[in-house]
Structure 1
Amino acid sequence: MSDERKDGKDLSRRDFLKSTGTAAIAAGMVAGSLTAFTRDAEAAWDTMPKKWDETHDVIVVGTGFAGLAAAIEARHAGAEVLVIDKMRTHGGNSIINGGEMASVGNRFQKEAGIQDSPELLLKDMLKAGSNLNHPELVKMCAERSGEALDWCEQFVGAKFVKLVYHGGHSVKRSVQTDNASGSGLVNPLFAKAKAMGVKFLFTTKMERLVTNKEGRVVGMEIRKGYKFPDDKSGKVAFLKARKAVVLGSGGFSQNVVLRQIHDPRIDARFDSTNHPGATGEATLAACMIGAMDVQMDWIQMGPWTSPDEKGFGQVPQFCERLVGYGPMIDPKTGRRFIQETGNRKVRADAMMALGYNTIIFSDEVNVKRQVLAHTLEKGMANGAIRKYDTIEELAAAYGIPLAPFKEELAKWNSYVAAKKDPDFNCKIFPETTPLQQGPFYVARLWPRVHYTMGGLVINKDAQVKGFNMKPIQGLYAAGESTGGVHGAVRLGTCSMLSCVVFGRIAGKNAANEKPWG
């Protein structure tokens, strides 16, 4: 579509939306969460409220890693900041995240003598993303990963205590919070923001973004007292943003209708690791004022979740700590079927192709060396992780044919001894030991929807771009509400990294916007 009209004037967002607004509104109605947009298309974007109920310099949507990082940096830059969240408590999806962040050159790598570089992280992220990543965005993450960790620890006060490995990385470079949970970063971020004077409004849902005649974002229509998921609940109010709005509102993994629009295969049979509010309305609201979206059909399945527990659970921390330390087995054949240290998409696709649950297991020596004690205890308490004294007992419990299973275990042990896997090229770590005697710990695996790679198009300054390829003034975004950073597949532990990096950029730049009106 040309950006110029026959009269030589630029095609504005308003002109574009006059011609495409009906289709955009229909998409919102299908998603079932943007009922406010069923009014006349042009009026939905051009009508300014008669009265603003509140005014703030910067308004941030979302209280996860990205939103809180943005709020802190905006406040640090001198802005008066309000953060809203439609849920009753802070944290969003970030608070139930695994608490692991990729960081190049961290102190744990140095202690272990691991050689790493931003260039290697960049290469790994591009490889995982099938080179669909927007290069300038990935480069920002890779180059600022060390700085991001320093900021989290030294300025925010979060504690990272351990170096861990995730499939798809060339080396161990990810650091884990002291409680192996995203809450280990979210809670310090929230406390820091409050201490700095950032204001918060919960049970407050953004209905739509308000723009002026020039297409600048000037505020938003909200519902105060919103009770998720009742879209009719709460009282309508208008918030003015003197400088800018930042969207740190997360993805849409829990919106089954919306994700099926982009990938019809991912229907209600597939649960999600995400919190219930991960439904994507804020991303759609931005699209409806002319923001461009990208890669919405790239939806990541987590291959490390268990059908024996709900949500994210304990098994992801059990499984990911054991890749390279224990085999994944097809219980119908007793054989390995995939590279355990491969990326998430490769493993999830292999499981979905089989069409039934698989298992991962290891012995007590490897498990207790790699898996946190409280993860093991909680997983065993809820029944998702189980313990067997012998291989025979394990095989009987999961209906695994014993003879081929024993043959496969013998091969695995020989590969561990040689530190090389000729079958699937699994990364075997120096400290991995053969599985020679029980007890053995095991968990069943089945994929869940974990991350939506697509979202709003941003530039390296975290500005949201419109269909005229120019930044929409007054609108920034970071985290899972954006697309382009991760390409086809997000490399594990790079979500927290991208949220912190671009959240900080968005907050600082939003605070430096020239006030309007």
Structure 2
Amino acid sequence: MEPVIVVGGGLSGLSAAHSVLEHGGKVILLDKKPALGGNSVKASSGINGAGTDSQTRLNINDTPKKFYDDTTKSAGQLARPNLITALTSNSAPAIDWLTKNFGVDLSLVSILGGHFTPRTHRGTGGAPGWAITSALMKKLALEEEKPEQRAKILKNAKVVKLLQDGDKVTGVEYEDGQGQKVKLEGPVVIATGGFGADFSPTGLIATHRPDLIQLPTVNGDHATGDGHVLITSLSSQSGVLIDMDQVQVHPTGFVDPAQPDAKTKFLAAEALRGVGGLLLKKDGSRFVNEMEKRDVVTAKMWEVIQSGQGPVRLVLGMQAATELKSHCDFYLSKGLMKKFANLQEVAEHMQVSLKDLQGTFISHESFASGQEKDPFGKTQFHNSDIKVEETFLVALITPVVHYTMGGVLVDEQAHVLDASGKPIPGMYASGEVIGGVHGKNRLGGSSLLEAVVFGRIAGENAAKSE
């Protein structure tokens, strides 16, 4: 029996690898970097699930249908019902799989922008991306050590070519750490991630979104669209790229005061706004519903910055900061957030009057209590009761290239499709490399979910394809 070859060691590739093993197959996982994890280990807000045990325990009434509706609305005119159904209907089983098979804590549930009910799961520890991905990495390393030798992990292994026999994909050719070329035979799952760090003059961002080439990114330097190139350069019946101009610019990347012009930024998790963080202009006033979808918040931030009313700051009161303590401690240790003893210190730092700044928080609290309607349409409020004498955390933020919604055309079974919509035999794809799942805007918490759901589907189908 030929092994399934999984290209990419982030959460989607790891999910595919474990799925292959669960369905009786053998697997070889390749990653071009010296360590696995990709961008998945950085994901900081959580993973979506509708109808989960954690939601039931917290009396949150949610269904896959509600999640489908929120995702469809977010995707806009580019919504693909078959892919959205696959994502949302498999969300609770994905959470269940992570908690039961890998012991991942996903007991906390929060609400992010564009969702109409809390469904973004994380644990009580650090960033959920790291918690989930590292659990799958550890278990795969243990599988590799077993005498059955059904799993093999190859690092520093860059796949340079897909092998074909007629239309069928039959394996890969990769370069090892010494520059030697090696061939492997078997069905292939491409899980190489997106192209959010491909800033080369002839790269995918330059080709599809030249307007974003000047922006910073929160992607690791590995996110250069390798899988996109491999799949579209097949000699016959090559794959197709869709929605490639749909690049998600996340509204909140930290500006590090020590390196304000750094091309690679740290992401300020959307969860910071979910727990009650406010976005303020230079003068200390709000300008947007902080819980709006990412594309809307980013557009409003551009307006503020381009009209000379920046920089934009993210400000958290004590209650909000305590709720995300592990995140905030990390950001503080990196110098990305600054702690102030009280609101007077924040006002002095921002060079605005305490009265004006306090007015922003008093107004926000009156919107939260329902006394007045928020002029920006905010209806989800959290930790809005701010005391002038409490501690505040403040960060400078800027929009950053975050996630590439476009990618390889697949069906709901994770088969890679050709231009006529036919599956290419022996060829599967999952995670950020695939296109069309999110349409024109991805909801927070759906990237880790896409990685797990489509990784599991791809691994199962590849294992059964022999």
TM-score (normalizing by structure 2): 0.90
Alignment of 1:190-269 (within 5 A): 190-196=137-143, 197-213=150-166, 215-225=167-177, 234-241=179-186, 244-256=187-199, 257-267=203-213, 269=214
Q: Report what 1:285 is aligned to.
A: 230
Taking the aligned partners of 1:278 and 1:381, their CA distance within structure 2 comes to: 26
Cα distance per residue 1:161-208 (max 9 Å; x no partner): 321221111111111143223121112112222333410111111111
Distance verdict in 2 for CA 1:58–1:104, change over 3 Å:
same
Match 1:366 to one of 320, 341, 348: 320
Taking the aligned partners of 1:430 and 1:364, their CA distance within structure 2 comes to: 12
Q: Report what 2:273 is aligned to.
A: 322
Distance verdict in 2 for CA 1:435–1:415, change over 3 Å:
farther
Q: Report what 2:21 is aligned to.
A: 75
Q: Report what 1:167 is aligned to.
A: 113
Q: Report what 1:184 is aligned to.
A: 131
Match 2:284 to one of 328, 331, 334: 334
Cα distance per residue 1:381-414 (max 9 Å; x no partner): 2222112233332122123465543433331121
Taking the aligned partners of 1:62 and 1:473, their CA distance within structure 2 comes to: 20
Alpha-carbon offset, residue 292 of structure 1: 0.8
Distance verdict in 2 for CA 1:419–1:321, change over 3 Å:
farther
SS state at 2:369 partner? helix
Taking the aligned partners of 2:298 and 2:355, their CA distance within structure 1 comes to: 27
Q: Report what 1:117 is aligned to.
A: 63
Alpha-carbon offset, residue 453 of structure 1: 0.3
Larger-gyration structure (1/2): 1
SS state at 1:336 partner? coil
Alignment of 1:469-484 (within 5 A): 469-484=421-436
Identity %: 28
SS state at 1:392 partner? helix
Any conservation in 1 of the 2:344–2:388 contact (CA below 8 Å)? no
Q: Report what 2:394 is aligned to.
A: 442
Distance verdict in 2 for CA 1:284–1:240, change over 3 Å:
same
Segment of structure 1 superposing worse, 423-432 or 249-258? 423-432
Segment of structure 1 superposing worse, 386-395 or 87-96? 386-395
Alpha-carbon offset, residue 435 of structure 1: 4.5
SS state at 1:460 partner? coil
Taking the aligned partners of 2:45 and 2:375, their CA distance within structure 1 comes to: 32
Any conservation in 2 of the 1:56–1:82 contact (CA below 8 Å)? no
Alpha-carbon offset, residue 159 of structure 1: 2.1
Taking the aligned partners of 1:395 and 1:430, their CA distance within structure 2 comes to: 22
Any conservation in 2 of the 1:334–1:402 contact (CA below 8 Å)? no
SS state at 1:446 partner? strand
**Residues paired across the two proteins, number:** 444
Alpha-carbon offset, residue 152 of structure 1: 0.8
Taking the aligned partners of 1:323 and 1:204, their CA distance within structure 2 comes to: 39
Distance verdict in 2 for CA 1:134–1:419, change over 3 Å:
farther
Cα distance per residue 1:83-110 (max 9 Å; x no partner): 1000000111111221610011223322
Are 1:494 and 2:446 an aligned pair?
yes
Taking the aligned partners of 1:419 and 1:384, their CA distance within structure 2 comes to: 35
Alpha-carbon offset, residue 430 of structure 1: 6.3
SS state at 1:335 partner? coil
* Residue type at the aligned position of 1:390: N
Cα distance per residue 1:179-238 (max 9 Å; x no partner): 22312111211222233341011111111111112x110112211116xxxxxxx11222
Are 1:456 and 2:402 an aligned pair?
no
Match 2:303 to one of 353, 363, 374: 353
Any conservation in 2 of the 1:388–1:394 contact (CA below 8 Å)? yes
Any conservation in 2 of the 1:163–1:176 contact (CA below 8 Å)? yes
SS state at 1:488 partner? coil
SS state at 2:361 partner? helix
Structure 1 residues without counterparts, runs of 5 or longer: 1-54, 227-233
Q: Report what 1:305 is aligned to.
A: 253
Any conservation in 1 of the 2:45–2:120 contact (CA below 8 Å)? no
Structure 2 residues without counterparts, runs of 5 or longer: 144-149
Taking the aligned partners of 1:224 and 1:501, their CA distance within structure 2 comes to: 30
Q: Report what 2:147 is aligned to.
A: none
Are 1:84 and 2:37 an aligned pair?
no
Any conservation in 1 of the 2:313–2:396 contact (CA below 8 Å)? yes
Alpha-carbon offset, residue 483 of structure 1: 0.3
Taking the aligned partners of 1:419 and 1:89, their CA distance within structure 2 comes to: 53
SS state at 2:403 partner? strand
Taking the aligned partners of 1:191 and 1:391, their CA distance within structure 2 comes to: 44
Are 1:375 and 2:320 an aligned pair?
no
Alignment of 1:146-157 (within 5 A): 146-157=92-103
Taking the aligned partners of 1:435 and 1:260, their CA distance within structure 2 comes to: 47
